[in-house]
Amino acid sequence: MAGALEGVTILEVVRVGPAAFATMMLADMGAEVIKIETPPQAAVKGADFGTLTEKEAREAAYTLHNRNKRSIAINLKARDGQKLLHKMAARADVFVEGFRPGVMKRLGGDYETLRQINPRLVYCSLSGYGQAGPYRDFAGHDINYISLGGALNLIGEAGKLPTVPLNVIADYAGAALHGVVGILLALFAREKTGQGQFIDISYLDTVVYLAANWCAAPYFSRGKVIERGQTPYSGGYPYYAVYKAKDGKLLTIGCREPWLWANLCRALGREDFIPYATRPEHLGQAPDADYREVKRQLEEIFLTRTRDEWFDRLIKQDVCIGKVYSWDEVLADPHILYRQMLLEVPHPALGMLKQVGIPIKLSRNPGSVRRNGPYLGENTDEVMGELGYAAEAIERLRQENVIA
């Protein structure tokens, strides 16, 4: 069955994970994604399985954000390399780049150049601070974007330094997912107008957007600046927190709605705790002494059984409870396996390799993992042959260090 994006060709020129994750999502849904990578050094010829070590081959195959893609190694600093890029762009639907503003112009692959070649091209740039503004040229990473965007200040306990999360807020939930949405919107618009367009994704912008409900809304509505530990989701209130079990493992309780909190209290035989449900004023207020005492008593109760015992018991009582898993436990969970979030994909040299599954379940055009990640330049000759280059021309460009 054809993927939803079959027939869409995407060129990817990125060096960091979030932009590559965005194109992987599109590749999972059927798009043809060609990675344009930089040769490791000018004098090195293309590698094959005969020159790769098994470790290198495995690392390439297991690079999640490269799956379902082909790789071509082009020296974009060379004039002939830029000509090759232009020839590829003429046939492409989407171009994705993840550099600081100005880099692609120096490499001959900026939007103004490529849209002259292909007016239907959808061009997506993902950069830390966007294509314009005072911070345009600044360096940054997820921790910087979530601090400037107001999210980091709300993560963790009151009176302590913020807890630094994995780089999923700005990098993946922010830039990557918004990049995918932007590309799909632009492709949809192209169906009506026949024209491509430029998409400017700023990591910082996406953090501000994601954090708006907890940061901006209270400030706009009542001038309240929410501080760390002053939300129902900070872990300080007993109805939304992490607890330790008898076996030292952790569990989560997420009973924010009063009726779910009541279910938990009844299941624990502590109906006297039912009045300590969430209240509107908890947004902007740290837990008071009474709520802290309820949480302390719950901590003692949860120490009387193992994590899995509590889960099996409370989940049947319509309580929002979760196990705090290590990654090996995630991949052994029966529900996750049932949902096909663990797949095995054949590799020509390494046998069956495991891959994380696809979370977007389309009934008519489901996504698929068709190939493992390529090693650098694995598909150079193949892609260039499709562009009409003869073997002699490919070898000449290789000898001139334009490709690898």
What is the DSSP code (8-state) at residue 403?
Answer: B
Token pair listed for 36:
């344009």
Spatial CA neighbour of 14 closest among 97, 128, 122: 97
Minimum mean pLDDT range among 41-45, 224-228, 370-374:
41-45
Which uninterrupted H or E stretch holds 111?
A: helix 111-117
For range 112-127, the mean pLDDT: 98
pTM of the model: 0.92
Instruction: Name which residue leads in pLDDT, 362 or 46.
Output: 362
Please name each of the domains of the chain with its CATH number: 9-210+347-399 (3.40.50.10540), 240-330 (3.30.1540.10)
**Who has greater pLDDT, 88 or 61?**
88
- The whole-number pLDDT of residue 222 equals 84
Beta-carbon contacts of residue 387 (< 8 Å; ≥ 6 apart): 84, 87, 88, 91
Look at residue 48 in the predicted model and tell me its pLDDT: 43
Q: Are 118 and 89 in contact (CB under 8 A)?
A: yes
Model pLDDT, residue 34: 98
- Catalytic residue, chosen from 141, 272, 290, 308, is 141
pLDDT confidence tier of residue 127, bands split at 50, 70 and 90: very high
Query: Could you give the 3-state DSSP secondary structure of residue 242?
Result: strand
Q: What was the pLDDT predicted at 183? A: 98
Altogether, the residues listed in the chain come to a count of 404
State the DSSP H helix or E strand holding residue 16, giving kind and residue range, or none if neither: none
Strand partners, 254: 240
Annotated active-site residue 333? The verdict is: no
**pLDDT (tens digit per residue) in 247-257:** 999 999 999 99
pLDDT (tens digit per residue) in 200-248: 999 999 999 998 887 888 888 888 888 898 888 899 999 999 999 999 9
Sign of CA dihedral 197, 201, 205, 207: positive
Encode pLDDT of 333-360 as tens digits: 999 999 999 998 888 888 888 999 999 9
Query: Of 92-96, 99-103, 211-215, 391-395, which gets the smallest average pLDDT?
Result: 211-215
Q: Please state whether beta strands 94-97 and 69-73 pair in parallel, antiparallel, or not at all (unpaired).
A: unpaired
Choose the catalytic residue: 28, 93, 110, 171: 171
Block residue for tokens 């489901």: 366
Looking at the predicted structure, is the pLDDT value of residue 42 above 60? no
Distance (Å, whole) CA 129 – CA 298: 44
pLDDT tens sequence across 301-334: 999 999 999 999 999 999 999 999 999 999 999 9
Taking only the tens place, the pLDDT of each residue in 147-160 is 999 999 999 888 88
Residue 52 has a pLDDT of 60
Question: Is 308 annotated in the active site?
Answer: no
The average pLDDT across 96-106 equals 96
Which pLDDT score is estimated for 205?
97
Would you say residue 41 has pLDDT above 60?
no
Selected residue with higher pLDDT from 227 and 120: 120
Tokens of 342: 């663990």
| Summary mean pLDDT of the chain | 92
